[in-house]
């Protein structure tokens, strides 16, 4: 036994060493990929933040670029607040975003429940319609949307700016997949107890997909808050401009001072960060668990 054991030991040690080297190499490759992705994704944001804090003494076009401001100042943010009515634009964006988030959370959840849990004849056709709508680019239907909103006398109104985004195909399909992931036994037990469709939806199914509802809320918030093309088309008076449209004034009036443009960009980004941080826990849970509550 001792001879056999000593004979195997030299063969096992190199294998263990090779496995450790492969594991270390894989871990290093993962870190390298993460660092590259961090630079690609967070690099532009960090540059905008640095640019917004640079003072008159900083060279914006230095080679190589200087990330850390040599003369940091918050004057650029104050200048943005003085030159354009930021608070009014923010309030308009909040109103539009609230309508869009509320519409998607309520209507997409109901539509997802109908597509995922209810049994009716045209359900595959309706699902196919949402999939096709997901593939159609906005530019192909934006003229039709404008004509429809104009026929409803909603041009130059915040409701008109929010109306096309009240229900989005992606959010409907996300909710459908979440409801499909709920075990059938839960709903069958409720049916045996005599629960109606609305009772099954409100008491059984909806609590199981809270994580996905938060995902829909975040997607809707980011999409509505950052939307520029549609509000630019449908809104014509400055009193109704959203923040993204209002910040466009900085490009015309202060084109030679990119510090103000960067400061306006950071101002527009702050609410998105706050909203995401508030729902981050539910967002991660929704992505990990889908429709099954852990």
Q: What is the CATH number of the domain that holds 231?
A: 1.10.3720.10
Choosing from 51, 73, 95, the residue where a domain stops is 73
CA distance 11 to 20: 15
Pair (66, 89) in one structural domain: no
CA distance 103 to 204: 22
Choosing from 73, 104, 131, the residue where a domain stops is 73
CA distance 56 to 70: 10
pLDDT confidence tier of residue 3, bands split at 50, 70 and 90: very low
CA distance 268 to 83: 15
Pair (159, 274) in one structural domain: yes
Supply the pLDDT for residue 43.
Answer: 78
Question: By three-state DSSP, how is residue 187 classified?
Answer: helix
Q: Residue 238 CA to chain centroid, in angstroms?
A: 27
The residue segments making up the domain with residue 155 are 75-289
Do the domain assignments include residue 276? yes
The tens digit of pLDDT for each residue in 31-79 reads 889 888 888 887 788 888 888 888 887 777 777 777 778 778 888 888 8
The tens digit of pLDDT for each residue in 184-242 reads 888 888 888 788 888 888 888 888 888 899 899 999 999 999 999 999 999 999 899 99
Is the four-CA dihedral 140, 97, 76, 87 of positive or negative sign? positive
Choosing from 53, 73, 93, the residue where a domain stops is 73
Supply the pLDDT for residue 163.
Answer: 93
Give the pTM.
Answer: 0.80
Pair (38, 83) in one structural domain: no
pLDDT confidence tier of residue 261, bands split at 50, 70 and 90: confident
Pair (149, 88) in one structural domain: yes
Pair (147, 69) in one structural domain: no
CA distance 110 to 239: 34
What is the count of structural domains for the chain? 2
Report CA Rg, the chain.
Answer: 26
Pair (103, 246) in one structural domain: yes
Do the domain assignments include residue 294? no
Pair (136, 56) in one structural domain: no
Based on the number of CB atoms within 10 Å of its own CB, is 145 exposed (0-12), middle (13-18) or buried (19 or more)?
middle
pLDDT confidence tier of residue 157, bands split at 50, 70 and 90: very high
Pair (84, 17) in one structural domain: no
CA distance 171 to 102: 12
């Amino acid at each position: 036994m001792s001879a056999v054991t000593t004979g195997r030991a030299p063969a096992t040690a190199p294998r263990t060493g090779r496995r450790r080297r492969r594991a270390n190499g894989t871990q290093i490759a993962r870190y390298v990929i993460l660092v590259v992705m961090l630079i690609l994704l967070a690099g532009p944001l960090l540059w905008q933040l640095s640019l917004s804090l640079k003072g008159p003494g900083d060279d914006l076009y230095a080679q190589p670029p200087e990330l850390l401001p040599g003369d940091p100042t918050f004057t650029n943010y104050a200048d943005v607040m003085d030159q354009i009515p930021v608070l009014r634009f923010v309030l308009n964006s909040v109103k539009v975003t609230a309508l869009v988030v509320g519409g998607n959370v309520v209507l997409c959840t109901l539509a997802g429940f109908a597509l995922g849990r209810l049994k009716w004849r045209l359900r595959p056709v309706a699902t196919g319609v949402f999939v096709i709508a997901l593939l159609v680019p906005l530019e192909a239907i934006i003229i039709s949307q404008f004509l429809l909103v104009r026929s409803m006398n909603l041009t130059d109104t915040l409701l008109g700016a929010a109306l096309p985004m009240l229900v989005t195909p992606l959010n409907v399909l996300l909710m459908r997949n979440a409801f499909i992931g709920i075990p059938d036994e839960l709903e069958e037990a409720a049916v045996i107890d005599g629960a109606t469709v609305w009772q099954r939806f409100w008491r059984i199914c909806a609590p199981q997909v809270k994580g996905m509802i938060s995902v829909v809320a975040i997607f809707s918030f980011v999409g509505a808050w950052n939307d520029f093309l549609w509000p630019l088309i449908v809104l014509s008076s400055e009193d109704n401009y959203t923040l993204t449209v209002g910040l466009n004034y900085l490009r015309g009036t202060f084109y030679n001072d990119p510090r103000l443009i960067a400061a306006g960009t950071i101002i527009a980004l702050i609410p998105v960060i706050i909203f995401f941080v508030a729902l981050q826990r539910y967002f991660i849970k929704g992505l990990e668990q889908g429709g099954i509550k852990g």
